[in-house]
Chain A
């Protein structure tokens, strides 16, 4: 059974870099021929797609965040990661990782991790 779990700091200072890792279990990132995605949801607001990475390493980012986002894969640990630079309070959100399958609908999702940007 495919499962995903986010990890990383819950508090980041303004102007610093947010870094999160998603650990995948139940399948191999490199052999599944899938996309792996990051989605966020500010408290009480809509879901926003941040970006996706293909198992081969090809990345797709939301243009609204592209200048600040990097998604990468760590095949040795079956993980993929998100970094978001120069964060502001507007980046405070629950961050989810998810399996995007072949077409980038997302199933399953990790449980999510709340990241607060505050000094």
Chain B
């Protein structure tokens, strides 16, 4: 099974800051990586796929990059509504697996 490890587990930033969250896979996942945003009491919301391709309606200040085993999610110009937990997910090989989440506080 592919293990997904996110870092940091939590971080605090200010409005206007730029933050980066890292997701590392235990083996090459060939950019088969998605990111989700989850707010308390809500279902995860899809952000991007293919490591860097934004979903419909996702603001352009959110971006993703990476290849092989290492991937990043960057949020520039943080807004109060970005406060949430962010999850990565590999969909290269079953069983599909998620990272443990990164809690972002603004």
A77 proximal to B (CB < 8 A): no
Alpha-carbon distance between A112 and B38 when the two chains are bound, in angstroms: 12
Within 8 A of B (CB), among A46-76: 46-49, 52, 60, 62-64
Alpha-carbon distance between A108 and B89 when the two chains are bound, in angstroms: 15
Q: Mark B69-98, 1 if CB is under 8 A from A, else 0.
A: 000000000000000000101010011111
Sorting the interface of chain A by its residue count into under 10, 10 to 19, 20 to 34 or 35 or more gives 20 to 34
CB neighbours (8 Å) of B49 from chain A are 103, 105
Within 8 A of B (CB), among A78-113: 96, 103-112
- Name the prevailing secondary structure of the A interface residues: loop
Query: Which one, B34, B36, B43, B99, contacts A111 given CB within 8 A?
Result: B43
Contact assessment for A106 and B95 in the assembled complex, using a CB-CB cutoff below 8 Å: no
Contact assessment for A104 and B91 in the assembled complex, using a CB-CB cutoff below 8 Å: yes
Query: Which one, A103, A108, A111, A112, contacts B46 given CB within 8 A?
Result: A108
Alpha-carbon distance between A62 and B49 when the two chains are bound, in angstroms: 21
- Name the prevailing secondary structure of the B interface residues: loop
Task: List 28 A–B pairs whose Cβ atoms lie within 8 Å, in order of A's numbering.
Answer: A46-B99, A46-B100, A47-B89, A49-B89, A49-B96, A52-B96, A62-B94, A62-B95, A63-B1, A96-B43, A96-B44, A103-B32, A103-B49, A103-B91, A105-B34, A105-B46, A105-B89, A105-B91, A106-B36, A106-B44, A106-B46, A106-B89, A107-B55, A109-B43, A109-B45, A110-B43, A111-B43, A112-B43
CB neighbours (8 Å) of B99 from chain A are 46
User: A66: shortest Cβ distance to chain B, in Å?
Assistant: 9
Known: A46-B101, A103-B49. A109 touches B32 (CB 8 A): no
CB neighbours (8 Å) of B95 from chain A are 49, 62-64
